[in-house]
Amino acid sequence: MRIGQPRSLQTRQLLAASLFLVAFLALAGYALDRAFLKTARDNLRERLDSYALALARDGDFARDGTFIVEPYALPDARFSRPGSGLYAEVVFPNGHWDSESAQGPRLPPAPLLPEGARRFEGPLAMHEIDGNAGEVYRYGRGLIWLSDDNNRAAEFPYTIYVYEDTDALREQVQIFRSALWRYLGGAGLLLLLLQGVILRWSLLPMRRVIDELKRVQRGQSSRMSERHPRELEPLTDSINAFIESERENLDRQRNTLADLAHSLKTPLAVLHSRLDDPNIDVDDMRVEVRGQVQRMTDIVSYQLARAASRGHALFAAPIQIEPHAEQIVTSLEKVYASKGVLCEFELGEGLQFYGEPGDLQELLGNLLENAFKWAKSRVLLTIAPVACEQNRRPGLIIAVDDDGPGIPPDKVALVLQRGVRGDERVQGHGIGLAIVQDLVRAYRGELEVGESTELGGARFEVRLPPGL
């Protein structure tokens, strides 16, 4: 399917522009040629008409009915040269008159025209004075002869015909066409060269983007530059966002593996020391092994949960928030049914989350579970959009309030401190807030902890910025 299709954008645009330019010049040339030919024919008609009027003015009829015109009174000297290409003929009821130039050539038959009639014809076939076939244009004008004494009985109709061969008009047209196509061809070549220069200049930013991508691939540059045309900014911004996302994913994987290895060193060291102890009881050994294995299982689960919650697709499809929130709150109200905690919603209509469904569940689930754990009877979930520029996806504000004891300002930093192991977290907030904090960072958002003005307990507010 790609046979014959150039892969270069510049070649494709230059080819398309060339085809349209050639088509435009051909149509323009054809239109100009038709216009010139019509103008030339109209000029010929006017010139032949002026010859006919001159012959009617200077000619006269003798008493015997013959048409007389003095040679010096002829409107053009070619009428006096046989075979000159310009001929005159007067047709009247009793005969006809031919100019000296018409003596010899065989002109087409000329009928008598009514008074006031005008007829321009051609090309018509004729024979030259040397017998060769030729063509002429003919103009005829019908007139009435009036005698000097205005005798109505002496009136009779006559017609003046003026002929001119087609050579003169054909030569004019050929000269015009030669000049026309020569100039149009030169203009076309010049425009093609100019188009090539313009295309090369206009595609220069694309070449710069390609060069920057090659430098990024070779490791010579860490990201795309910021100075690009407005039309290419979405592309370069998306590439930069993708590069940063991939680097964050790589760093996250390295950190997860490093944290997992560091976390497993202590349980493994304990098991190793117990195995080397010859005095340990078998039952004690089983208890110790079971405890350390459970500890390692918890560590692995924590690190995997952290790794899963922090990864998100850069261009994920939007997700409706309300169904997920209702599902999570329904489950938590069952778990904490003994406390009688109720959750109220303040959600904007049709709110969407641009990310992975698992990330949304982890974010809402950990924030709401923490609130249910510490609340006395009420929890408030508030989600609102963040205004942004046109053609960008909106951000979100997710806030969870409870009526529990709250968090002292001097303990906020300790609660949100990132630890290596789960038991390094402040009791009561566990690994859930650590997952929330890491997830918010992955989405380039902000997490604020403070006092709830509505319920009096703690307030966790997450701000996710607008997307690309």
Predicted confidence band at 266 (pLDDT cuts at 50, 70, 90)?
Answer: low
Beta bridge partners of 145: 156
167-178 pLDDT tens trace: 888 888 899 989
Least confident of 245-254, 376-385, 454-463: 245-254
177-224 pLDDT tens trace: 899 899 988 988 898 888 888 888 887 888 888 888 888 888 778 788
Q: Is 184 helix (H, G, I), strand (E, B) or coil?
A: helix
Q: Check pLDDT > 90 for residue 330.
A: no
Least confident of 42-51, 253-262, 322-331, 343-352: 253-262
Which of the 8 DSSP states describes residue 148? T
Percentage of residues in the chain with pLDDT exceeding 90? 15
Higher pLDDT, 273 or 31: 31
Sequence-ordered strand ranges (E) for 326-394: 342-347, 352-354, 378-386
- Residue type at 282? V
Place of tokens 């117990």: 274
Least confident of 9-13, 339-343, 348-352, 370-374: 9-13
Give the Cα separation of 281 and 283 in Å (integer). Answer: 6
Sequence-ordered strand ranges (E) for 83-132: 86-92, 95-98, 118-127
Give the Cα separation of 375 and 340 in Å (integer). Answer: 10
pLDDT at 402: 93
Q: Mean pLDDT over residues 39-47, rounded?
A: 91
Predicted confidence band at 305 (pLDDT cuts at 50, 70, 90)?
Answer: low
Sequence-ordered strand ranges (E) for 217-316: none
> Phi and psi dihedrals of 121, rounded to 5?
-130, 160
Q: Is 450 helix (H, G, I), strand (E, B) or coil?
A: strand
Q: Check pLDDT > 60 for residue 6.
A: no
Q: Mean pLDDT over residues 449-456, rounded?
A: 89
Higher pLDDT, 418 or 399: 399
Q: Mean pLDDT over residues 259-264, rounded?
A: 66
If phi > 0 it is left, if psi is from -120 to 50 it is alpha, else beta; for residue 41 that is alpha
Decide if 134 contacts 147 (C-beta within 8 A). Answer: no
pLDDT at 49: 92
Q: Check pLDDT > 80 for residue 65.
A: no
Q: Check pLDDT > 70 for residue 102.
A: yes
- Looking at every residue in the chain, the average pLDDT score rounds to 81
Contacts of 245 (CB under 8 A, 6+ apart): 314
408-447 pLDDT tens trace: 888 877 777 654 333 344 344 456 777 788 788 888 889 9
End-to-end alpha carbon distance in the chain = 34
pLDDT at 399: 93
Predicted confidence band at 46 (pLDDT cuts at 50, 70, 90)?
Answer: very high
Higher pLDDT, 148 or 364: 364
Distances in Å between the alpha carbon of 236 and those of 204, 365, 393, 468?
A: 15, 35, 18, 11
